[in-house]
Amino acid sequence: MEMEHHEEQSHFVKRVVLPSGKTIEVVYFKDTVDTAAPVQEVVRHAEPDQELHLCFDCGGELVYPVEWEEAGPENWSVVLHCPNCDVCREGVFGQDTVERFDEELDRGADALARDYKRLMRANMAEEIGRFVGALQSDAILPEDF
Ligand SMILES: [Zn+2]
């Protein structure tokens, strides 16, 4: 049995020559072809391993995930947002990439919490105290802002 493929604009014709010598033409329309596409063309492949907390556009290190979604058995579709330049991007990433991102996020959250506590203990508490004191004594006037 011989087969020939003819690519055309909206469909392709597969001409099949039967052992008897008879030729039949099978027409595949594009929709049919797409539906019948092999599975690996539907599953989105993961992007190369990379540091997801780093912003592509501004190089900021505070990129965080807006959405997580399974994309196949080992991949994740993640929507990322950079608070620095307000850019969003979406991509499919492998399990390892996403796990390291997760660890980085944990570290980032820890660092933020530490910074916050340190600020609270040091000058912030002092400044809040001064501010409250000034408010109570009417020492802050509109021109101070
Ligand atoms: Zn950015």
Q: How far is the CA of 50 from the centre of ligand 1 (A)?
A: 15
How many angstroms is it from 63 CA to the middle of ligand 1? 7
- pLDDT score of 19 more than 80: no
**Mean model confidence pLDDT for the chain:** 78
Over residues 95-126, the pLDDT tens digits come to 999 999 999 998 888 887 777 777 667 666 67
Torsion of CA 95, 69, 103, 115, to 10 degrees: 160
* Integer Cα distance of 111 and 22 in angstroms: 75
Ligand 1: centre distance to CA 16 (Å): 55
Distance CA 100, CA 20 (A): 61
- The domain limits of the chain are 46-136
State the distance from the centre of ligand 1 to the C-alpha of 74, rounded, in angstroms: 27
Res 5 pLDDT > 80: no
3-class DSSP assignment, residue 2:
strand
How far does residue 47's CA lie from ligand 1's centre (Å)? 19
Question: Which residues are 91's β-sheet partners?
Answer: 78
State the distance from the centre of ligand 1 to the C-alpha of 10, rounded, in angstroms. Answer: 41
Kindly give the distance from the C-alpha atom of residue 54 to the centroid of ligand 1, in angstroms, as a whole number: 8
Q: Are 5 and 12 in contact (CB under 8 A)?
A: yes
Cβ-in-10-Å burial (0-12, 13-18, 19+) of 108 comes to middle
pTM for the full predicted model: 0.51
Query: Percent of the chain scored above 90 by pLDDT?
Result: 34
